Every structure is written in C-alpha cells, then in structure tokens.
Amino acid sequence: MEKCIIVAISDNSAIGRDNALLWHISEDLKFFRRTTSGHPVIMGRKTFESIGRPLPKRTNIVVSRGSEAPEGTLLAGSLAEAFEKAAEQQSERCFVIGGGQIYAQALELADRLIVTHVHTVIENADTFFPEIDPQLWKEDSRSEQYIDEETGYSFEFVEYVR
C-alpha cells in the first residue's frame, strides 16, 4: 500500500493555528475530498477534533494514546498501528491527513507527498510542516497556479515521491 501524506502548506511552512486551518480555499478542499475519497485516512486526535466528525466515504483512523475511539472511527495507539489498520482496508493507497505531530512522524515513512503550496506567509501560526528535503524528495508533478478568489492567495498542487 502506498503511504501518502496530503497537506496544504504556506510559504513559511505553516499549516495551522489554534487547532484550525489557516485559510478556506474551496478548490483545495474539493481536491482533498476527490483525492482521499474511498481510501483510509489517518489523523492525529487533535486534527480529528478540529474536523469534528468522521470524513464520509473513508475509513477514519485516529491516532491517540487515549483508549476511546471517537464514534465512527478506528483508534490506533501509534502511527505504525494506524498503517496496519489502513492495510487491512485493501486499498492501494492510504492518506496521512495531519496534523503537525503526525506529519512529523509520518514523513520518514511516507512514499508520496501531495502538497498544496499556498503562496502566502502566515506570521502567527502555531503548527508547521517539516522541511521537504530535496535530496530525499523528487518532484513528480506540478499543476498550474490557481488563484483563490476569496483569499487572493495563489496556490498549486505538487506531488513528490521518495
């Protein structure tokens, strides 16, 4: 099973603040839904709480040291256990969908990064994505640049493979 990370990152590597996303870009949310639907998704407990409900049409695997799985999810006590549970779903891909703690641990295990580069600098973020080392990650595809009308931010979809 291919282990993918999917994430939206600002130019200064910011991904979140106050357990929420930093922007609302509807084309990116649609891309996320289209890309992950039908596949298992793995997330940290804080990201699950930020979303507030299981994502439909996907097996939701929540990583936590706690003992209770939120309704409609599978609980994993570690990222390794989350990948094992994902593999049981017989899907060709699974997606790590955040947040900061989980991305930091998943980066060394992932095969593919699916990144929305959002071209803005966010000064007061509290959660960041680690550096994508160009020695380790080769660009596999890059979309055209789009402009989000609501925020004015330009953004593009880039995939990296190990």
Ligand X SMILES: NC(=O)c1ccc[n+]([C@@H]2O[C@H](COP(=O)([O-])OP(=O)(O)OC[C@H]3O[C@@H](n4cnc5c(N)ncnc54)[C@H](OP(=O)(O)O)[C@@H]3O)[C@@H](O)[C@H]2O)c1
List residues binding ligand X (CB under 6 A): 7-8, 15-17, 19-21, 43-47, 50, 63-66, 77-79, 97-102, 105, 127
Q: Residue 127 CB, nearest distance to ligand X (Å)?
A: 4
Q: Residue 10 CB, nearest distance to ligand X (Å)?
A: 8
Q: Are 130 and 15 in contact (CB under 8 A)?
A: no
Task: For ligand X, give the closer residue by CB, 90 or 124.
Answer: 124
CA pseudo-torsion sign 45, 48, 52, 57: negative
Task: For ligand X, give the closer residue by CB, 20 or 136.
Answer: 20
16's tokens: 């979140």
The closest of 56, 73, 62 to 98, measured between CA atoms, is 62
Q: Residue 72 CB, nearest distance to ligand X (Å)?
A: 16
Q: Residue 79 CB, nearest distance to ligand X (Å)?
A: 6
77's tokens: 């006590």
Task: For ligand X, give the closer residue by CB, 38 or 66.
Answer: 66
Q: Residue 143 CB, nearest distance to ligand X (Å)?
A: 16
Distance CA 129, CA 6 (A): 11
Task: For ligand X, give the closer residue by CB, 59 or 96.
Answer: 96
Nearest-Å Rg of the Cα atoms of the chain is 15
CA pseudo-torsion sign 82, 83, 84, 90: positive
Burial zone of 123 (CB within 10 Å; 0-12 exposed, 13-18 middle, 19+ buried): exposed
Task: For ligand X, give the closer residue by CB, 59 or 63.
Answer: 63
